[in-house]
Structure 1
């Protein structure tokens, strides 16, 4: 069955045209014009059942807390996710400051536990979202975000790299900084998951869960984000971070870097080693 037919059935309408936008991980990406004139973004996959549902759950959960800052979900099933098409614009200082305030408002929403009430995914890898209210964030992070990826990463990290990450896991309580309640976070907030629009930035493609708010900010810094200083300044004005947050960033960056090692191999080894060493130096 063609994508146009499947999309029409999902949306209970017809599709006037589809443009292919390439691939990402196991997804194909598309822009479609519907019979009612709407312009939509479509993500399609035949693999990893549940991944698109998790993405939709995350967008809706984040959108309930920050509706103006998160892409809305038009429709979803096991193989298709449909969002409004968001025309891109240049990231202005004003939009970055607004995003900083939006993230601060989002993080102010406190779920009952770390984790989320749906099975998680990050890219094409499962993400353990088991909700845990009894555990500290540090221990939850070690057990749910670091340890699960270490076996698959081990052949690229080598024994020395594995031991470094294990030292972080062993010392995580001392490295994590002051305790904070769970925050509603995006969970995969690199610059490619921000859609800069004319009026404001909108978040897409989350690995959303109740976590530590420093995680989102560390992820923004990991691969670089436009206007990051303006964004962080506005965030700090709205919801100041605990002292030492910059020094703790490598701890929060260790999880996405481990994910990158599992997905892309040895090319990310040195970044994992550097992050682990920096985390242990706090």
Structure 2
């Protein structure tokens, strides 16, 4: 049975031959679609995939390596299929260079033109000009409300001290926003960034998360370039946000990670 609307099959120029579920669809339904003419694409359904399409388009405008967007409508996007392959060190280096280039463009404010969500976790992307305030009010404090009291108090204390810990006005770089190693796909040709949750912010946010749930090849860092002084001290502060998201989405097994990051941040 077709998993694409009939008018879309007409646009693609071929009916669906097969549809297979793909892994990785925690926040949406993924299918590998093979058309009768042999072409393959990925269909992704979910409540925020049309916003994802706009994010992919913004990243593509800055020459970021993202899958080609074939179609977008409310609740459904279609992307080129990327056949995975083992990455070489050059692919990691090139990915670092590409991410650095994307981060080199500056936006006007911190945030994004629309809100987003990771499942039940809503992200307030209301733009602002004060970066520590954005990280405190839009990222950490909303996720602290349901924490056990001792952990909540530590997060709140850290949030209050962010003006002393984070730069007041780093360049508002376009962020992938959910950049862990599972959101990087390598083909035989290169590496690609998938499943973005874009907004403008400190470029170190992407780099911190990339080191939280995986370890990029060392050549990635050579491709990206030198980080600003103090990045090691800021890393756990930026990693705390995705750790809190995982705690809310997936339960108490992530409480130890949250506590460890608070310890590393000296909070």
Question: TM class by shorter-chain length?
Answer: over 0.9
Alignment correspondent of 2:88: 92
Unaligned 5+ segments in structure 1 are none
What's the counterpart of residue 199 of structure 1?
Answer: 189
**What TM-score do you get using the length of structure 2 for normalisation?**
0.92
Residue 165 of structure 2: which of 165, 175, 178 is its match? Answer: 175
Count of aligned pairs between the two proteins: 264
In 2: Cα distance, 1:275 partner to 1:226 partner: 20
Instruction: Identify if the C-alpha distance between structure 1 residues 162 and 19 changes in structure 2 by more than 3 Å, giving closer, same or farther.
Output: same
Q: CA deviation at 1:79?
A: 2.3
> Is the 2:50–2:75 contact (alpha carbons within 8 Å) kept by the matching residues of 1?
no
Going by fraction, where is helix more abundant, 1 or 2?
1
Q: Can you list the C-alpha shifts for 1:222-275, whole angstroms capped at 9, x where unaligned?
A: 011341x21012212xxx321121221101001101100110111111111111
Of the candidates 124, 131, 137, which is equivalent to residue 143 of structure 1? 137
Residues 151-162 of structure 1 aligned to structure 2 (within 5 Å): 151-152=145-146, 154=147, 158-162=148-152
Q: Which residue number corresponds to residue 58 of structure 1?
A: 55
The one of 105, 118, 135 equivalent to 1:109 is: 105
1:82 to 2:78 alignment: yes
> 1:130-182: CA deviations, max 9, x gaps?
122xx321111111111112224x1xxx1111111111111011111474120
* Alpha carbons 1:15, 1:34 under 8 Å: kept: yes
Q: Distance in 1 between matches of 2:119 and 2:69?
A: 18
- The whole-number CA distance in structure 2 between the counterparts of 1:99 and 1:5 is 33
Distance in 1, Cα, partners of 2:79 & 2:266: 41
Tell me the TM-score normalised to structure 1 length.
0.88
1:163 to 147, 150, 153: 153
After superposition, residues 187-226 of structure 1 pair within 5 angstroms as: 187-226=177-216
Contact kept in structure 2, 1:178 and 1:242, CA below 8 Å: no
Q: 1:261 aligns to what SS in structure 2?
A: helix
Corresponding residue for 2:38?
37
Task: Specify every segment of 5 or more residues in structure 2 that has no aligned partner in the other structure, as ranges.
Answer: none
* Aligned partners of 1:32 and 1:41 also within 8 Å: yes
In structure 2, C-alpha distance between the alignment counterparts of 1:125 and 1:9, rounded to whole Å: 33
Task: Give the 3-state SS of the residue equivalent to 1:180 in structure 2.
Answer: coil
Distance 1:98 1:72 in 2: 18
Match of 2:145, SS? helix
Q: Which residue of 1 aligns with 2:222?
A: 233
The alpha carbon displacement at 1:26 in A equals 4.4
